[in-house]
Amino acid sequence: MEYSNQIVFPWINAISFGISSPLFEEMAFRGTIYRFFKNDKLAFILASITFAWIHTGFSPVLLVYLPMSVILTTIYHRRKVLSESILLHVLFNTFLPIMFSFLQFLTGIYYL
């Protein structure tokens, strides 16, 4: 049992964190919000802030997620194509452990 957990669960986590989460989050935060609000500026602001807030709540780490959220929303806002923001989100999640280590080094903020 222990051996199979060590092999299977990291792959399930990687697929969930690296592929499934970006797919569903982009559909929810970019696709749905942009369809619900006809005003693109309002949709841009709400999609960016909501995405960052849902991930962090009211904590200093919001300042780390907000630029990433603005970038993902900008990518979607340009042409209204979800696949581009999904791909970038997958890349962000793939390199997130490296980015967190670097940001922790720069800011001294430790978030688990």
DSSP string over 45-86: HHHHHHHHHHHH-SSTTHHHHHHHHHHHHHHHHHH--HHHHH
pLDDT at 87: 95
Nearest to 56 by CA among 67, 43, 45: 67
For the chain, the structural domain boundaries read 2-107
pLDDT at 12: 75
Distance in angstroms between the alpha carbons of the first and the last residue of the chain: 27
pLDDT at 86: 95
pLDDT at 36: 94
How many alpha carbons lie under 13 Å from residue 66 in its C-beta half-sphere? 11
Per-residue pLDDT of the chain (112 residues; tens, 9 = 90+): 455 555 556 677 777 778 889 999 999 999 999 999 989 999 999 999 999 999 898 888 898 889 999 999 999 999 999 999 999 999 988 887 777 778 788 888 765 5
Which residues neighbour 65 within 8 Å (Cβ) at sequence distance 6 or greater? Answer: 51, 52, 55, 56
pLDDT at 31: 92
